[in-house]
Chain A
Amino acid sequence: MEKPRLIREDGLRHDGRRPNELRPIKISVGVLNKASGSALVEYGATKILAAVHGPREIPLRHLLLPDRAIIRCRYHMLTFSTHERKSPAPSRREIELSKVIRESLEPVVMTEMFPRTAIDIFIEVINADGGTRTASVTAASLALADAGIPMRDIVVGVAVGKVNNVLVLDIDEVEDMFGEADMPVAVAPSLGMITLLQLNGVLTRDEFVEALKLALEGANQIYRLAREALRNSYLKVRVEE
């Protein structure tokens, strides 16, 4: 693939967005009926399905903790989610992202209410176009809330990148591939808590401060949409009754 012009002459990005503009975000909650909770999240062309099972008993007794529930998380990319077929076997990257997503959710889930049980999170990437881990965090936390599992806050994820020396919000695959830096962040906005912060590439100190500010602004926008989607999914149920 040839490197496209990432920042156009008019200051907009290759897809016409302003530097501080998110991709169009779509959120639906409670899309699956066999899981305890589920959510479908789209950041532009990135499409993530998350399902939650539990709290439930598991046969692997040695994993259980006497004072709280354990969270098990699987991030997985479907074979058709990328340009070239992705092997369905879990790759090194997927195993790491599973851990990173789990750790970004653990601080908000009240696991101490369900000792000796397990809460399982299954995340499937249906279409990958950059920012899959951040969209996965959003989807997983909405699926947990939909399952009725007590949480301190909803966690939302968003990435900031640097392309052609410009800090841009919610980078897509092209910007990630040809850009200079990629910084995924997960935030619990009501609590003012950052539960995930990674940085790939190089940012100066000032750029980092600026990037984090941009990420928090983006996270607040997504948080508003996420809460609205969650609330609407239940109001609809109540009206149908």
Chain B
Amino acid sequence: MSRELREVAVPGEYLGVAEEFLPGPGAYESDYRLRAAVIGQVLRDRINKVVSVRPFKAVTLPQQGAIVIAVITEVREDIARSKIYIVNNLPLKYPFTGILHATQIAEKTGEVKQIYEHLRIGDFVRARVLNRTPPYLLTIRDPKLGVVLASCSKCGATLKPSGDKLTCPQCGNTEKRKIAQGYGKL
């Protein structure tokens, strides 16, 4: 354990005066004093004059621009709802709602006539977050984004990609989806 690692702060811990540092993540200023906001390791950047606290247990929430894995829960005429379970490869403790609008599904505008031809209930999608607060608005308008795992609507088997469509290895059913690059790899 290095010497630096030993400096552990708990919320309210005094870190220095406002003339010394600017508050970074996990720190804040109150009455010209810098204090820790979370329990974690104190990091003092003496070049940029920033003091921050790296939390031992961080709260993970979807951030703007984050790549998330979500499961479609509802498909309507112009909107699909989903539950976000993974953010930037980190699992969420509590799932959040993600909303996919018809305009955020196909790569070219005006292509989506029926969301049903691009997404179905139970599909796993890789999507990007567009806004900051729940309910999160998602987009899959990118070749890397879209359905990464889907099951057959007739027999329930996991669908396999063939060209720009998905086929069922058990019953031979063919389905249309907005498939992401790297389908089948979560």
- Is the beta-carbon distance between B37 and A110 smaller than 8 angstroms? yes
Q: Once bound together, how far apart are the Cα atoms of A108 and B38, in whole Å?
A: 12
Chain A residues with Cβ below 8 Å from B28 are 110, 150, 152
Question: A208 at the A/B interface (Cβ < 8 Å)?
Answer: no
Q: Once bound together, how far apart are the Cα atoms of A115 and B62, in whole Å?
A: 12
Question: A234 at the A/B interface (Cβ < 8 Å)?
Answer: yes
For A148, the closest partner residue in chain B by CB is: B57
Considering only CB atoms and an 8 Å cut-off, how many residues of chain B contact the other chain?
31
For the complex formed, measure the closest distance between the CB of A216 and the CB atoms of chain B, giving whole angstroms: 15
Q: How large is the interface on A (under 10, 10 to 19, 20 to 34, 35 or more residues)?
A: 35 or more
- Residue in contact with A190 in the complex, picked from B8, B12, B61, CB distance below 8 Å: B12
Q: Which residues of chain B from 37 to 91 have a CB within 8 Å of any chain A CB? A: 37-39, 55-59, 61
- Residue in contact with A152 in the complex, picked from B12, B39, B57, CB distance below 8 Å: B12
- Is the beta-carbon distance between A147 and B12 smaller than 8 angstroms? no
- Is the beta-carbon distance between A149 and B59 smaller than 8 angstroms? yes
Question: B172 at the A/B interface (Cβ < 8 Å)?
Answer: no
- Is the beta-carbon distance between B96 and A145 smaller than 8 angstroms? no
Q: Once bound together, how far apart are the Cα atoms of A36 and B38, in whole Å?
A: 14
- Is the beta-carbon distance between B8 and A36 smaller than 8 angstroms? no
- Is the beta-carbon distance between B133 and A116 smaller than 8 angstroms? yes
Q: Once bound together, how far apart are the Cα atoms of A79 and B171, in whole Å?
A: 57
A interface residues, Cβ below 8 angstroms from B = 36-37, 53-57, 66, 108, 110, 114-117, 145-154, 188-191, 227, 230-231, 234-235, 237-238
